[in-house]
Structures are given as structure tokens and as C-alpha cells.
Amino acid sequence: MIHRLEFEARVRETLREDAPFGDPFGSEFPQPGRGVFLAAEAGIFCGGPVAEEVFRQVDPEVSVSFPPEGTRCSEGARVGEASGPISSLLRAERVALNFLQRLSGIATATARFVERVSPHGTRILDTRKTTPLWRALEKHAVRTGGGHNHRFSLSDGILVKENGIRAAGGIGKAVAAAKRVAHPLARVEVEVESLEEAEAAIAAGADALLLDNMLPGQVREAVERFGTKVFLEASGGIRLENVAEYARTGVPALSIGALTHSSPSLDISFELDR
């Protein structure tokens, strides 16, 4: 689950963005009403606690309910309801839907990748390629879809990427610099683009390798040569169409930036009862 403190301020800012001076039309309808949330397509539901917070901040008198996070919903399924002053329902509607659609879309996309690799025991990881200030929410959606979180921030661990290697003057110097500043229990991971670079990183003392933009055959060879020495993950060019092929190489994890930067929103609507 995700704690309310992770999104309370974000909801407040989003509501301010959406209606900085109130809703002049919606405020004309103070009478009680009720509405339902409907999924226009099948997917994985995510974002209920955030949508609840939207309604709570708009009007504590509004009553809302949503299914548990990770619930599979079919096309046309009811995925929530809200009742209270119609003015409050109209005020909260768009903001709540924005959160629900975006997070459910990420959870749904993640679940599709997880299903493809599940026979091979491979973990699907996210990345830091997240919407600014939405990271906690989007990574929650990845978990809801059955994926796993990579590091949350630059402060959480060291992943020496291409520009870091250039800044240090080579793989060996980069790993040495990382080891100097890393917490004793922290893992130093190095992004490599070839088997030769992988050998250099391991020789320098890397604890893990990110196999970047390698073909499945190269990943398989890396697993055979280095899989017992360091932790391996592959990334780059991995799509739903080829993710099973990568999983069959035996690599323990696949990190996919598209989970958070390119997943389409799930089509969810809110309809007032007449």
C-alpha cells in the first residue's frame, strides 16, 4: 500500500491547479447526488486511496468507496462510487479521474509484462523515468501491477551510467569512486553495453551489472559468464513483444522505463445518477 503522506500534498496542489478560484458552475448544485466510476476497458485498478483523498479534501461529507488496489476489472465494470453534494462531486471528478486513469494504466501495463515473464521467475523493475513529483505514486502503481521498484532516488543506491563513466574517466575509475562514497551495505551497479565492459566492471569490483541495450543472445552469454559473480539486470529495447525472450535468457531482472513514462491511461469515467 501507499501511505497518505505520500500524496496528500500532491492532491492539494492538483486541486488548486484545477480550480484556483473554485467552480462557478458546479457550485450551483448543492443538492445531494450520487455517481459511479466505470471502467471502459479491462485492466488493473489502482489509485483508490488517492481518489478518496481528492474527495476528502474537496468535501469531507462526501462518501466514496473503491475496490482494493490491484483488483482486476472487466470492460464496463463498476470500480467505485461517490455520494454527497453534487457541487462537491463535480469539483472532485476530473482530478480523481486523472489519478485513477494514470495509475491504473501503469498497473495494467506492468501486469502484462509480469504475466509474460512469470514462467521464468524474472522480476520486472521500474526506473527513475517518472513524471516529476509523481514518483511515489507511479512506483506504487508498478507494485500494484506485480512489478518491483528499482531505487527511488539517486540517494538510494549507486548506478554508474554512461555519463558517470565518462565523468570518472573510465569504468575502473568510476567503480573506485563509487566504492569510496558508497555505504558499506550499498550495492554498486554499473551500466555496460558489451561483454568486454562487463568484464572490466567486474574486475573493478562492481556488485551488479545493468546490461544496456543488449540483444537476448548477448544477455544469455552474460548470464552464463557472470551470473554467479554479480547480480544482473537487462534494460533497453525491451517491449511486451520480446520480454519473454529476454526472460528466457535466465537474467534475474528486467528494468523497463516505459512502465512509468509511456503507459497509456486506463479509460475510467464517472457518471452521475439521474
Q: Known catalytic residues?
A: 94, 129, 161, 191, 212
In angstroms, the CA 176 to CA 167 distance is 13
Ramachandran assignment for 164, one of left (phi > 0), alpha (psi -120 to 50 degrees), beta (any other): alpha
In the chain, beta strands by DSSP E: 32-39, 43-44, 63-65, 72-73, 78-85, 123-125, 158-160, 188-192, 208-212, 231-235, 253-255, 268-272
Which residues are CB-contacts of 111 (< 8 A; sequence separation ≥ 6)?
44, 145, 146
Cα–Cα distances (Å) from 223 to 34, 54, 200, 218, in that order, read 56, 46, 16, 9
CA 55 to chain centre: 23
Beta pairing partners, 32: 85
Q: Residue 18 to residues 26, 51, 115: CA-CA distances in angstroms? A: 13, 15, 37
C-alpha cell at 224: 552464463
